A and B are shown apart, each in its own frame.
Chain A
Amino acid sequence: MTQKISVTLTVNGTEYKKEVESRMLLSDFLRHELGLTGTHVGCEHGVCGACTILFDGESARSCLTFAVQADGHEITTVEGLAKNKDNLHPLQQSFWEAHGLQCGYCTPGILMSMIPFLKQNPNPTEDEIRHALSGNLCRCTGYQHIVDAVKLASEKMKVSK
């Protein structure tokens, strides 16, 4: 009964065509089929946020989507943010400068949640930032430095515009 289905999708601007089993989660597809291991997997039931990616530009849990559903769609993962390690995205740079991570497990999911958030809210208050972070769990930092990093990013991204 292992039906294989052909999918064609764009990930970080590159088009991929693959045959996948229908039950393969998009998170596993990104990690195992494409080797994009920046997308992390924690809970596989939508709660931790580690697997958050952009699905047609909107944040979504890749653990709650089947790869076959991404056929014809555009996915962005954390690997799509920076051109190379010397040219980080201002959001990544801010996490570095403000110590917004310790082990880094939660970071890719947080970055991919904050990209659309900052686009929709270029001048967020601390309250709005905390609210926006509530869908991502971090077991290390205590969140304060993550909040600082997002605030710093909103300032950097304003200047860079």
Chain B
Amino acid sequence: MKPAPFEYHAPNTIEEVLDLKYQHGDEAKFLAGGQSLVPAMNFRIVQPSVLIDLNRVDELSFIKEEKNVIRVGSMARERHLEFNDSIKKHTPLLHEAVPFIAHPQIRNRGTIGGSIVNADPAAELPVLMLALSARLKAKNKSGERWLDAKDFFAGMFTTALTPDEVLVEIELPFAEKNTGWSFMEVAPRSGDYAMMGVATLVTLDNNKKCKQVKLVYLNAGDGPVEAIEAEKLLEGNIVNDELINSAASHASEKEITPFGNIHASVDFQRHLANSLTKQTLKQALQRAEETLV
């Protein structure tokens, strides 16, 4: 099918973007990479009467390293995250996970901001934002505000942004000292949305005790799901296989709430979560230990 007619605007500055949004209100939608919005328009699932194309707003497509954080403009392409040296060095979890998003042809256009605002529970980037404790900057005509990733995702395809706000920037803190990482997922075919996936971080203290753990799951509820209780089971302890097994059981049985789909039943999703939790914890732990010597 073909999209319904719409009025098209291609502003060059954030200022113009906000003016246009103010002027057109709820009628207007932002167009980022178009890799989720355009399929939905082609099928007339959505029919915005105005599109504000963000692709010519150069000031939104940066990736820059500062003292303790990496700043990423919302229009940075997924493909650019994949090959960025600062991201590889300081947020290796993100570097490891981005190639799992769709195919290169999609990542060449798809943006970090588009994926985050789309808030698909099966998407990788929302999960990564939560795991990495990212902060997100939103702007509207009257000002700007910062939101923590944990307050940003508000349910299935829903965020805390108000309709007049545009996401402009993502702040990624550097990985803490002695942190190991691991991202794994299982998809029917490489590039497909995964049936289950988990982003895992383990930070050790000098005595090999677990200082902090992050376990965040995709396709495990109505947004990215953090297994906070399972994390607590590990924190403060020297982690062994027994603890890993109980954290994996707790997370996969008690904390995630997958819905099942045509590719995987709920039971199978829980089974995958259990197995992926163990595997990622072991890999993250090993990587953290390597930083201690």
Contacts and interface: CB of A to CB of B under 8 A. Distances in A.
Given A46-B39, A65-B109, A135 B104 contact: yes
A3 B10 CA distance: 14
B42 A59 contact: no
Interface stretch (B1-9, B84-92, B177-185, B263-271): B1-9
Contacts of B109: 55, 60-61, 64-65
Contact of A60 (B10, B51, B105): B105
Q: Which of A52, A61, A64 has the most CB of B within 10 A?
A: A64
Q: How large is the interface on B (under 10, 10 to 19, 20 to 34, 35 or more residues)?
A: 20 to 34
A34 interface: no
B259 interface: no
B65 interface: no
Contacts of B53: 68-69
Contacts, number: 89
A118 interface: no
Given A22-B51, A63-B42, A131-B190, A5 B104 contact: no
Contacts of A55: 108-109
A159 interface: no
A73 to B, nearest CB: 10
A45 B42 contact: yes
A70 to B, nearest CB: 10
A25 interface: yes
Contacts of B55: 69
A52 to B, nearest CB: 6
B3 A65 contact: no
A125 interface: no
B5 A65 contact: no
Given A44-B42, A58-B79, A64-B39, A1 B8 contact: no
Contact of B34 (A1, A22, A64): A64
A2 interface: yes
Nearest to A132: B104
A23 B53 CA distance: 13
A7 to B, nearest CB: 11
Interface string A57-83: 011110111101101000000000000
A100 interface: no
Contacts of A25: 2-3, 38, 42
B8 A22 contact: yes
B106 interface: yes
A108 interface: no
Given A1-B5, A3-B8, A68-B8, A59 B34 contact: no
B7 A135 contact: no
A46 B106 contact: yes
A5 B34 CA distance: 19
A105 to B, nearest CB: 17
Contacts of B155: none
Contact of A59 (B2, B8, B105): B105
B103 to A, nearest CB: 3
Q: Which of B10, B42, B53 has the most CB of A within 10 A?
A: B42
A58 B108 CA distance: 7
Q: Which of B34, B35, B105, B191 has the most CB of A within 10 A?
A: B105
Contacts of B8: 3, 5, 22, 66, 68
B39 A22 contact: no
Nearest to A117: B104
A155 interface: no
A48 to B, nearest CB: 11
Contacts of A61: 35, 105-106, 109
Contacts of A68: 8, 10, 53
- The 10 A-B pairs at the shortest CB distance, nearest first, are namely A135-B103, A22-B8, A45-B39, A64-B38, A58-B108, A134-B190, A59-B105, A23-B3, A134-B191, A44-B42
14 contacts: A3-B8, A22-B7, A25-B2, A25-B42, A45-B39, A46-B39, A46-B106, A59-B105, A61-B105, A64-B34, A68-B10, A69-B10, A69-B53, A135-B191
Interface of A: 1-3, 5, 21-23, 25, 28, 44-46, 49, 52, 55, 58-61, 63-66, 68-69, 71, 113, 116-117, 131-132, 134-135
